Structure 1
Amino acid sequence: MIERLGNGAFSICEWLARLAVINMFWLLFTAAGLGLFGWAPATAAAFAVMRSAFLNGGLADQDTRSVFREFKSVFQNEFVPANIIGFLLLWGGALLILSGWSMEAMEVSLLPRLVLIGAASMFLLVLLLVFPVRTHMETSIQGAVRYSLMIGLANLPSMFIVLISVALMLVLFVMIPGVLVFYGASLPAAAVMFMSLKIFSKTGLNPISY
Structure 2
Amino acid sequence: MEMNGLMGGVYRIAEWIMRLAAINLLWIAFTVGGLIVGGLFPATQATFAMTRQWIRGETDLPIFKTFLHYFKKDYWKVQIMGFSLTFIGFILYIDLLFIYQSTNSFVQLLTFPLLILTLIYALTCFYAFSAFVHYELSVFKLLKHAALHTVVRPFLSVGMMTSFAASIFLMFQFPGVLPFFGVSIPIFLLMWFSHTGFVRNEERQKSQAA
User: TM-score interval w.r.t. the shorter chain?
Assistant: 0.7 to 0.9
Structure 1 length-normalised TM: 0.88
Is residue 188 from structure 1 mapped to residue 189 from structure 2 by the alignment? no
Q: 1:97 is matched with which residue?
A: 93
- Provide closer, same or farther for how the CA distance between residues 15 and 108 of structure 1 changes in structure 2, counting only shifts above 3 A: farther
Q: 2:45 is matched with which residue?
A: 44
Q: 1:139 is matched with which residue?
A: 137
Q: Displacement of 1:92 after TM fit?
A: 2.1
Q: 1:106 is matched with which residue?
A: 102
Deviations 1:102-145 (A, max 9, x none): 11111344531122123212202211100010100000111110
Is residue 78 from structure 1 mapped to residue 79 from structure 2 by the alignment? no
- Aligned partners of 2:83, 2:53: CA distance in 1, in Å? 26
Letter in 1 for 2:193: M
Q: Displacement of 1:98 after TM fit?
A: 2.2
- Provide closer, same or farther for how the CA distance between residues 83 and 108 of structure 1 changes in structure 2, counting only shifts above 3 A: farther
Q: 1:124 is matched with which residue?
A: 122
- Aligned partners of 2:75, 2:178: CA distance in 1, in Å? 24
- Aligned partners of 1:95, 1:179: CA distance in 2, in Å? 33
Higher gyration radius (CA): 2
Q: 2:154 is matched with which residue?
A: 156
Q: Displacement of 1:146 after TM fit?
A: 0.5
- Aligned partners of 2:103, 2:68: CA distance in 1, in Å? 48
Q: Displacement of 1:177 after TM fit?
A: 1.6
Q: 1:69 is matched with which residue?
A: 65
Structure 2 length-normalised TM: 0.88
Q: 1:204 is matched with which residue?
A: 202
Q: 1:53 is matched with which residue?
A: 54
Q: 2:208 is matched with which residue?
A: none
- Aligned partners of 1:84, 1:184: CA distance in 2, in Å? 25
Q: What is the Cα-based RMSD across aligned positions, in Å?
A: 1.8
Contact 1:44 1:78 in 2 (8 A): no
**4+ runs of 1 displaced by more than 4 Å?**
none
Is residue 19 from structure 1 mapped to residue 17 from structure 2 by the alignment? no
- Aligned partners of 1:153, 1:9: CA distance in 2, in Å? 39
Corresponding residue pairs, total = 199
